[in-house]
Structure 1
Amino acid sequence: MSILHRARFTTSAARLDQLPPPTGPEVCFVGRSNAGKSSALNVLTNQRRLAFSSKTPGRTRLINMFGIPDPLDPDAVLGYLVDLPGYGYASVAQSAREEWADVLGSYLRDRPSLAGVVLLIDIRRGVTALDRRLVDWLAPRKIPVLALLTKADKLPYGQRVRAIAEVKKELADLGRLNAVAFSATQRIGIDEATAQIVNWISPQIVP
C-alpha cells in the first residue's frame, strides 16, 4: 500500500499565517479551476472524498493540508499533501482573484517546507498564461515540479506524447520538471505520479 493512502485531513487555512509551523516536507497541488485537482488527490490517495471541489469552480479559497502518518510511528507525520486554491475562473471577481494569487504566490515563494509541486494542466489546453505566472513564481526557487496533464483519456496516445513534449519545452526554465499524462477516471499515470510524490515526502519509503 502506498503511504499516500494513509493521508488524513489536518487543517484548512485562508491565510498563510493560519498554517501550522513548517515541519515535514510538503507537496502542494495547484492548477486552474476545473483542471482535475480534487480528482487527482482522491485517486492518488485511494480515497473517494479526501479532497472535494466546490459546486461552483473557483469558489474554494482555502488551503487544505492532509497529513501522512509515519507507518513506523502513528503519532508522527512524514509530511503533507497540500491542496491550494484553484485559479483563473472567470466569474470570480478580480479583487478575489488577486487576493488568491497573493496567497498562492507567497506560499510557493516562501514556504520553507515545500519539497515539490504537482502542477495540474488540462492536457487539451496546454500551458496557459496563468500557469506561466505560477511557474514564474516557482522558477527562482528551483523546486522540483511534476506536471500532471489531466484528462489524458480524452486524447489518443500519439497526441498525449506530443502534449508532454510541448509542456516540457514550454516549462524548460523550471529545470527540475517531469511531465506525465494523467487520468483519474482511466487510472493513467497513477503509478508514475505516486512514485514521484512519495520520493519527495520520504525517499526511503517505497510505495
Structure 2
Amino acid sequence: MSILHRATFVTSAARLDQLPEPGAPEVCFVGRSNAGKSTAINLLTNQRRLAYSSKTPGRTRLINMFGLPDPLNPGDYYGYLVDLPGYGYASVAKHAKEEWADVLGDYLRIRPSLAGIVIMIDIRRGVTDLDLRLTRWIAPTGKGVLALLTKADKLPYGQRMNAVFAVKKQLADIGQLAAIPFSAPARIGIEEATHHIENWISPKAVP
C-alpha cells in the first residue's frame, strides 16, 4: 500500500502563520482554479472525499494540509500533502486575488519544509501565461516540480507524448522537472505520480 493512502486531514489555514511549524517534508499541489488539484489528491490517496473540491471556481482560498501518519510513532507524520488555493479565476475581487497570491507566493518561496511541487496543467490547453508566471516564481527555489497533464484520456497516446515534450520545453527553466500524462477517470499516471511524491516525502518509507 502506498504511504499516500494513509493521508488524513490536519488543518486549513488562511495564512502561513496558521500552519504547523515547518518540519516533515511537504508536497504541494498548485494550478488554476478547478484544475483538478483536489481530484488528484483524492485519487493518489485512494480516498473519495479527503480533499474538498468546490463547484464554484475560485471559492477555495485556504491552504489545506493532509498528514501522512507514521505508524511507528503515533502523532508524528512522514510528511504532508498540501492543497493550495487555485489561481486565475477572473471573477474574484482584485483585493482578494492579491491577498491570495501573496499567501501562495510566500508558501512556494519561503516555506522551508517544502520538498516538491505538483502543478496541474490541462493537457489540451498546455502551459498558460499564468502557469509560466508561477513556474518562473518557483524556478529560483530549486525545488523539484512534477507537472501532471490532466485530461490525458482526451488525447490519443501520440498526442499525449507530444504534449509532454512541449511542456518540458516550455518549462525548461525548471531544473528538476518531470511531466506525465494524468487522468482520474482513466487512471492514467497514478503510479508514476505516486512514485515521485513518495520519494520527495520519505524515500526510506517507500516499500
Pick the TM interval, shorter chain: over 0.9
Q: 1:20 offset after TM fit, Å? A: 1.0
Q: 1:74 offset after TM fit, Å? A: 3.0
Paired residue for 1:77? 77
Q: Which runs of 5+ in 2 are unaligned?
A: none
Name the TM-score, length of structure 2 as normaliser.
Answer: 0.97
Q: 1:137 offset after TM fit, Å? A: 1.4
Q: Does 1:147 align with 2:126?
A: no
Secondary structure of 1:173's aligned partner: coil
Secondary structure of 1:120's aligned partner: strand
Paired residue for 1:116? 116
% identical equivalent positions = 75
Question: How do residues 1-207 of structure 1 correspond to structure 2 at under 5 angstroms?
Answer: 1-206=1-206
Matched residues in 2 for 1:133 and 1:176: separation? Answer: 17
Q: 1:206 offset after TM fit, Å? A: 2.3
Q: 1:71 offset after TM fit, Å? A: 3.0
Matched residues in 2 for 1:155 and 1:94: separation? Answer: 35
Q: 1:94 offset after TM fit, Å? A: 2.0
Runs of 4 or more, structure 1, over 3 Å off, are none
Matched residues in 2 for 1:141 and 1:90: separation? Answer: 28
How many correspondences in the alignment? 207
Matched residues in 1 for 2:58 and 2:99: separation? Answer: 13
Name the TM-score, length of structure 1 as normaliser.
Answer: 0.97
Secondary structure of 1:153's aligned partner: helix
Matched residues in 2 for 1:156 and 1:98: separation? Answer: 39
Q: Which runs of 5+ in 1 are unaligned?
A: none
Q: 1:15-48: CA deviations, max 9, x gaps?
A: 1111111010000000001211111000000000
| Aligned residues: CA RMSD | 0.9
Matched residues in 1 for 2:60 and 2:72: separation? Answer: 34
